[in-house]
Structure 1
Amino acid sequence: MDRIFKKYSDFLLILTAFFWGSTFILMKKAIEDLPTFSFLFARFFLAFLLMFLIFYKKITLKKEDILAACILGFLNFIAYATQTYSLNFVPSNIVAFITALFVVFTPIFSFLLFKRNIKIYSIMGVIIAVMGLYLLTLSGKLIFNIYEIYPLLCAMFFGLHVSVTDVFSKKYNIYTLVTFQFLVVAILSLLFVPFESHNIKISSLVIFALFITSFFATVFAFFVQTYAQKYTTPTKTAIIFALEPVTAAFFGIMYGEKLTLFQILGGFLVIFATIINEIGDKIIKLLNAKN
């Protein structure tokens, strides 16, 4: 498996961004029938069970591995709680844009916490990605309201999660990190269930949403993120994940949304930012070789 991730880590991260982007509208519809924290509990508890059943032989119960998983789980809970809750009040495209600002927070946290240098082409990629995301999801209009603080917090904690995952994935058992952070998110979500409305409707949409988010957008996605980050940088991971709202926008078309010329341009800018971050080292090496 190490060999596969070493060779295809970036492709698998792009696939992860695709799965995450596909869930924005799906979750917005699902939480109309199943409240935010009830949905998160079901999603992450199912994900925990799936991970445990599939990889139980590779999971360790070392104290340091469990503690690291708890830290990641706490960061993940804050990120998903604020993001999912905001979908009750904010259009999914605006949530997608603000959440994607974690591409800015990731290198900042990596520098502040772990003294990782920020390369110039990574900074360029981040700036271009933010410009692209702005055009793609909002068509140049950003009207901030109080509820948009939630996805902003989400972006900060996602950026922190990516930065910490980069360090932890190289030090601790991958299977333990992924499995038990799901359990932590599920437990923390359960604590908030008594405080929300109990008008629960287990519709076919809720079941479908739980299946997609639990298996593809959680088990597959977070396992890939945690494992692949052993072989790539946190800033590159963040730039690749900037493709998430691109996917969200295209899935929105299936629900009657349309893409303007500015949004199409934004999508190309995000892709261009990904390419810059991907080939930055190679360009610098070629320039140095010529000199």
Structure 2
Amino acid sequence: MSVKQAELMMLFVTFSWSSSYLLMKIALTGVDPFTLMCLRFTIAFVCVLPLLLKTIKICSKRTVAKGLFLGFMVYASLIGTIVGLKHTTASTAAFLGTTAVVLVPIIEGVWQRKMPPMLTILSIALAFVGLVLFTVKDGLSLDIGALYCLWGAFGYAVYIVVVGRIANEKDMFPATLMQFGAIAIFSGLSAYIFETPHLPQTGMQWGAILGLAVICSAFCFVMQSIVQRYLSPSRTGLIFSMEPVFAAILAYFFLNEVMDGQGLIGALLIMIANVLKNIVYRIRYVNAQRKRKVWNRKRMV
């Protein structure tokens, strides 16, 4: 696969991710949040099960425990996003979801007890102003849906940091496949306790759930893991920054969602924050590559 083909495939993956907000909004008209999560990830787990069986030789009890832990983290963050979608627009949820990338350095800084670079601090400040514009409406009232989406973004940021710590472990791939099953289990238990589970009633609702499971979960996960081998982290992050833009366009055409002036300014600030964060990633990546070349040169001498 060439770099150009990888970029186009990653752009398609990003577009598919962005459609999840529209599909969740449609699915929520027929089923409750926990039931939706259970159906989505049960189907997704069945789709990736053949891949999991191929890696069964390197699995252990620790792999299963890791898959359950990762699944619970995604489950906890998705609660915020899905509940938020019941109270706010798909485009708002998408833009707030991308703040997870900006929240990562805050969590890493607290974890490592060190100050992030100034460019990262600037991106955090811009994202914070954008968040305020999204969550505070009409002067003082709070958008409860936006607050739930922010919960989801924070939870996913924690997940990114944790995965970054264990990404190089040899059983990481089967553990990440197992997390689909873990999410389905946690969601199924929650649906049984807090909801009255029932299946979708229309073809459109079933189509939305199948799209979420097969395309937005199983396909995107596998394809992203393949394509990222051919792209630098900074380029991948820059392509991913298009996700809320795609989501807003889809929401406009299919849900008739239009942002007001305050929302547009907030969205713009969050987009700028994401671009600045990707510039930081690019600088770090280039510096790491330069150090590696220098080290290899010295080793050859």
Q: Same fold (TM over 0.5)?
A: yes
Confirm or deny that 1:109 pairs with 2:112: no
Letter in 1 for 2:23: L
Bigger CA radius of gyration: 2
Q: Which aligned pairs between 1:272-291 and structure 2 lie closer than 5 A? A: 272-273=275-276, 276-277=279-280, 279-281=282-284
Verify the 8 A CA contact 1:169 1:226 in the aligned structure 2: no
C-alpha separation in 1, matches of 2:32 and 2:107: 32
Stretch moving more, 224-233 or 119-128:
224-233
Distance in 2, Cα, partners of 1:93 & 1:261: 14
Tell me which residue corresponds to 1:77. Answer: 75
Q: Are residue 23 (structure 1) and residue 23 (structure 2) matched? A: no
Aligned with 2:95 (options 76, 97, 107): 97
Worse-superposed segment, 241-250 or 276-285:
276-285
What is the match of residue 149 of structure 1? Answer: 147
**Rounded Cα–Cα distance in structure 1 between residues aligned with 2:275 and 2:219:** 26
CA-CA distance at 1:57 after TM superposition: 1.0
**Contact map agreement 1:125 1:277 (CA 8 A) in 2:** no
For 1:58-69, what aligned pairs fall within 5 Å after superposition?
58-59=55-56, 60-69=58-67
Number of residue equivalences: 280
2:34 to 37, 46, 52: 37
Trace 1:132-143 onto structure 2 (pairs within 5 A): 143=141
Q: 1:90 is paired with a residue of what secondary structure?
A: coil
TM-score by length of 2: 0.74
Which residue is 1:220 aligned to? 219
Distance 2:43 2:261 in 1: 40
Paired position in structure 2 for 1:49: 46
> Judging changes above 3 Å, is the alpha-carbon distance between structure 1 residues 218 and 163 closer, same or farther for their aligned structure 2 residues?
same
Question: Which residue in the other structure is 1:257 paired with?
Answer: 257
Identity of aligned residues (%): 21
- Cα-to-partner distance string for 1:11-56 (whole Å, 9 max, x where unaligned): 7655443222112122112111122111111110111111112452
What are the ranges of 5 or more consecutive residues in structure 1 without an aligned counterpart? Answer: 286-291
Unmatched runs of 5 consecutive residues or more in structure 2: 289-301
The aligned residue for residue 269 of structure 1 is: 272
**2:135 and 2:143 in contact (8 A); partners too:** no
Query: Could you tell me which amino acid in structure 2 is paired with residue 57 of structure 1?
Result: K
- Within the candidate set 156, 159, 183, 2:157 is matched to 159
In structure 2, the partner of 1:192 is: 190
Looking at structure 1, the residues matched to 7 and 111 of structure 2 have their Cα atoms a distance apart, in angstroms, of 24
| C-alpha distance 144-107 of structure 1, shift in aligned 2 (>3 A) | same
Using a 3 Å threshold, how does the CA distance of structure 1 residues 282 and 218 change in structure 2: closer, same or farther? closer
Alpha carbons 1:166, 1:230 under 8 Å: kept: no
RMSD, aligned CA: 4.0
Change (3 A) 1:198 1:50: closer
| Partner amino acid, structure 1, of 2:109 | F
Distance in 1 (alpha carbons) for counterparts of 2:166 and 2:9? 19
* Contact 1:19–1:221 under 8 Å retained in 2: yes
Distance 2:7 2:75 in 1: 25
